[in-house]
Amino acid sequence: MKIFIETKRLILRELLPADAKGMFALDSNPNVLQYLGIQPITTLDECRKSIRLVRDQYERNGIGRWAVVLKDSYEFIGWAGLKLVDEMTINQHRNHYDLGYRFIERFWGQGYGYEAAQSIVNYGLNHLKIPKIHAYLAPNNIGSKRILEKCGLKFIETFEADGELFDWMEIENKK
């Protein structure tokens, strides 16, 4: 099992087929999906499929979303990471690194989102030496916006996709 990052309280490791139940706790909860414009899933098979897709990205790009687990207990609390967006264009960008994260509701409000996101931004800029990291989000996703701003991402513009508005954020590698 490949571990990518360790923070004070978290381990960020490759997403494994065994994470399907944890993924179900995320993606079957409408509160988690509130700002994401996707419908709750209803079967474990849907989770197995999304894990396969992420693992395909590891193979293809050497990176993708990672599982976030508690250091103390190895409990799966969600996922976070950089995805190379190579199969679609978002806000006229392609082949860019998108920062994303999603946590099981009972783990919200304890600083895990920021702790994971900040470690990923550092890893992307300092270890992978990515020139820019992007993220986009629903403008009213206040919690996510706060995390991105605390990680140093700046608001660039609002754009429209499929009839919805999104904020585009980025951080440039100054080194």
Ligand X SMILES: CC(C)(COP(=O)(O)OP(=O)(O)OC[C@H]1O[C@@H](n2cnc3c(N)ncnc32)[C@H](O)[C@@H]1OP(=O)(O)O)[C@@H](O)C(=O)NCCC(=O)NCCS
Strand order across the 132-137 sheet: 3-6, 10-13, 65-70, 76-85, 96-103, 132-137, 164-172, 154-161
> Helix or strand or coil: residue 51?
helix
- Closest-CA residue to 62 (of 113, 2, 147): 2
81 in Cβ contact with 108 (< 8 Å): no
Stretch 89-128 residues interacting with ligand X (CB under 6 A): 101-103, 108-114
Q: How far is the CB of 35 from ligand X (least distance, A)?
A: 5
- Binding-residue pattern over the window 21 to 60 for ligand X, x denoting contact by CB under 6 A: -----------x--x-------------------------
In the bound complex, which residue of the shown chain has the CB atom lying closest to ligand X?
A: 143
**Based on CB atoms, which residue is closest to ligand X, 2 or 152?**
152
**Based on CB atoms, which residue is closest to ligand X, 54 or 175?**
54
Q: How far is the CB of 31 from ligand X (least distance, A)?
A: 8
Stretch 132-161 residues interacting with ligand X (CB under 6 A): 137, 141-144, 146-147, 150
Q: How far is the CB of 153 from ligand X (least distance, A)?
A: 11
**Based on CB atoms, which residue is closest to ligand X, 56 or 105?**
105
Q: Given phi > 0 = left and psi -120 to 50 = alpha, else beta, which region is 163?
A: left
Could you give the angle at the alpha carbon of 56 between the alpha carbons of 51 and 61, nearest 5°? 125
Give Cβ neighbours of residue 54 (< 8 Å, ≥ 6 apart).
15, 64, 65
**Based on CB atoms, which residue is closest to ligand X, 152 or 175?**
152
> How far is it, in rounded angstroms, from Cα 145 to Cα 141?
6
**Based on CB atoms, which residue is closest to ligand X, 32 or 133?**
32
Residue ranges binding ligand X (CB under 6 A): 32, 35, 101-103, 108-114, 137, 141-144, 146-147, 150
